[in-house]
């Protein structure tokens, strides 16, 4: 059976494409749909269906544009109530894709409409299951997201539904089935997902903690333990997926305006648009536009945009490396940030060449950090996740997770120097930009972060294996 996994590392997302006898289907597509259309063109196939496993929280689906451009019928599972035309499948309903069959299996828990799709090949053999956020490799979907949209759905109720779905709908299926999940390690939709993006169901029954023998009460407690607050943009993305959204073409047209330094400055002053610099942390540190924030394209860009910019309708003007403008706009739109209104033509170099003011962030090497700690007692602030800090950290370092920085600004002193670090330098530069924006200047950032600090003689806590990756 031909099943193509299309994996996007930025948001740790997997979409799927299948084709048989000139008929194709796409499962959980990203906002930018051209890759799926290109695949169908290569196969000389018509995209008949776009299947959604649920209303996604961590990205905006491309289902509406696929319907518009490819004529595909949108399919959701039982109970879904989109504000646009879609087929609502019945539990057990069969769909034909050429010689293949797709069976909808209602598996509520992550959300109430969550549905797993059983893939049946041309010989009528069951091949695999596209599980959405119901079952991951090594984990299951967090059951605390839907409550942010429907208040009556408590995380305990959803976890109970998930227990029943896994035991009654998933685990009775054949061990030989291939599990095709919606996400892998790095996604905020689970807490302990594997880096592997497929596995057999039989192996998951043996190794996945959530599929081991336990009571419903034990399952609920286990699944909910270790969960942190989801990114703030999640409920907004859910509503966009339920209610609909603008075509990506419209978003790109609005955003694709090259601005001179003077035009850029004028828009920033007159509109309240956020200046987002997507360059590498090391380049940003050497020079950046005052009051801009840095979230680099080379890291978990979409996730940190969602964490640090609360409103998806926030107007944004971009500073990127030359030629990276379209990529930045597209990756913003993946998570619902549709209001980019322009970018600095030819990047930061034009701003600098114009003679306009810019700022820098002082950075030190891990060796200099080590020597500094030997010579004086200085405040060290670690902006990694709590689980990373608890696993191992610099002795006496203060932990302020980056996603909580705005609530804990008081922990950053203004009357004495301090040192910032994260795991590798990506998140600490985001923190540095925010602190600069808020008036902090007396600090330095450690290049290479804790990964390289760990190789020095800086005193560290004993390593503890983390119980969650959140």
d(CA 212, CA 206) in angstroms, rounded, equals 7
Per-residue pLDDT of the chain (470 residues; tens, 9 = 90+): 999 999 998 889 999 999 999 999 999 999 999 999 999 999 999 999 999 999 999 999 999 999 999 999 999 999 999 999 999 999 999 999 999 999 999 999 999 999 999 999 999 999 999 999 999 999 999 999 876 566 678 999 999 999 999 999 999 999 999 999 999 988 888 888 899 999 999 999 999 999 999 999 999 999 999 888 888 899 999 999 999 999 999 999 999 999 999 999 999 999 999 999 999 999 999 999 999 999 999 988 988 999 999 899 999 999 999 999 999 999 999 999 999 999 999 999 999 999 999 999 999 999 999 999 999 999 999 999 998 999 999 999 999 999 999 999 999 999 999 999 999 999 999 999 999 999 999 999 999 999 999 999 999 999 998 766 66
Model pLDDT, residue 299: 87
What pLDDT does residue 348 have? 98
Q: Residue 33: its pLDDT value, please?
A: 97
In this prediction, residue 467 carries a pLDDT of 65
Predicted local confidence at residue 189, as pLDDT? 86
Nearest residue to 134 via CA among 150, 153, 154, 117? 117
**What whole-number distance in Å separates Cα of residue 51 and Cα of residue 470?**
29
With tokens 């200047």, the residue in question is 441
Residue with tokens 């995209």: 47
Query: Rounded to 5 degrees, what are φ and ψ at 444?
Result: -130, 160
Q: How many C-beta atoms surround the C-beta of residue 232 within 10 A?
A: 16
**Spatial CB neighbours of 28, under 8 Å, sequence gap ≥ 6:** 13, 14, 15, 16, 51, 52, 53, 56, 61, 130, 132, 182
Q: Give the chain's domains with CATH numbers.
A: 3-233 (3.60.15.10), 246-353 (3.40.250.10), 363-453 (3.40.250.10)
Beta strands in 121-232 (DSSP E): 126-132, 178-181, 199-200
CA separation for the pair 292, 318 (Å, rounded)? 9
Provide the β-strand partners of residue 342: 317
Alpha carbon 288 to chain centroid, angstroms: 26
Confidence (pLDDT) at 228: 80
**Residue 77, pLDDT score:** 98
Residue 15, strand partner residues:
6
pLDDT given at position 230: 85
Q: How far is CA 66 from CA 114, 239, 319, in A?
A: 21, 19, 30
């Amino acid at each position: 059976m031909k099943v193509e996994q299309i994996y996007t590392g930025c948001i740790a997302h997997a979409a799927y494409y299948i084709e048989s006898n000139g008929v194709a289907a796409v499962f959980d597509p990203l906002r930018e749909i051209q890759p799926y259309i290109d695949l169908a063109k290569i196969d000389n196939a018509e995209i008949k269906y776009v299947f959604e496993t649920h209303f996604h929280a961590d990205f905006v689906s491309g289902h509406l544009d696929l319907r518009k451009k490819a004529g595909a019928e949108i399919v959701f599972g039982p109970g879904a109530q989109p504000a646009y035309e879609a087929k609502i499948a019945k539990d057990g309903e069969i769909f034909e894709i050429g010689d293949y069959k797709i069976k909808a299996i209602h598996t509520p828990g992550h959300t109430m409409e969550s549905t797993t799709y059983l893939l049946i090949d041309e010989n009528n053999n069951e091949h695999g299951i596209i599980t959405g956020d119901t079952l991951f490799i090594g984990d299951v979907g967090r059951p605390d997201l839907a409550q942010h949209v429907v208040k009556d759905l408590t995380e305990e109720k959803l976890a109970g539904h998930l227990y029943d779905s896994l035991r009654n709908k998933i685990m009775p299926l054949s061990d030989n089935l291939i599990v095709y999940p919606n996400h892998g390690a790095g996604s905020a939709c689970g807490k302990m997902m594997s880096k592997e993006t497929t596995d057999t169901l039989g192996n998951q029954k043996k190794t996945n903690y959530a599929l081991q023998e336990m009571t419903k009460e034990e399952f609920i407690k286990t699944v909910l333990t270790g969960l942190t607050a989801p990114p703030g943009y999640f409920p907004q993305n859910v509503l966009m997926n339920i209610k609909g959204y603008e075509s990506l073409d419209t978003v790109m047209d609005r955003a694709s305006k090259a601005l001179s330094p003077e035009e850029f400055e004028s828009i920033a002053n007159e509109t309240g648009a956020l200046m987002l610099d997507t360059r590498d942390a090391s380049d940003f540190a050497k020079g950046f536009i005052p009051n801009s924030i840095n979230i680099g394209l080379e890291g978990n860009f979409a996730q940190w945009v969602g964490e640090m910019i609360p409103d998806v309708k926030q107007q944004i003007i971009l500073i990127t490396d030359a030629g990276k403008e379209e990529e930045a706009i597209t990756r913003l739109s993946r998570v619902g940030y549709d209001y980019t209104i322009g970018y600095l033509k030819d990047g930061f170099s034009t701003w600098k060449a114009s003679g306009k003011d810019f700022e820098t962030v002082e950075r030190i090497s891990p060796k200099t950090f080590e020597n500094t700690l030997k010579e004086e007692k200085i405040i060290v602030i670690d902006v990694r996740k709590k689980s990373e800090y608890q696993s191992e950290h610099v002795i006496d370092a203060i932990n302020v997770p980056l996603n909580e920085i705005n609530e804990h600004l008081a922990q950053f002193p203004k009357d004495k120097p301090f040192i910032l670090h994260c795991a590798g330098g990506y998140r600490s530069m985001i923190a540095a930009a925010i602190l600069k924006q808020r008036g902090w200047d007396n600090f330095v950032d450690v290049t290479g972060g804790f990964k390289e600090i760990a190789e020095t003689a800086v005193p560290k806590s004993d390593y503890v294996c983390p119980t969650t990756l959140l």
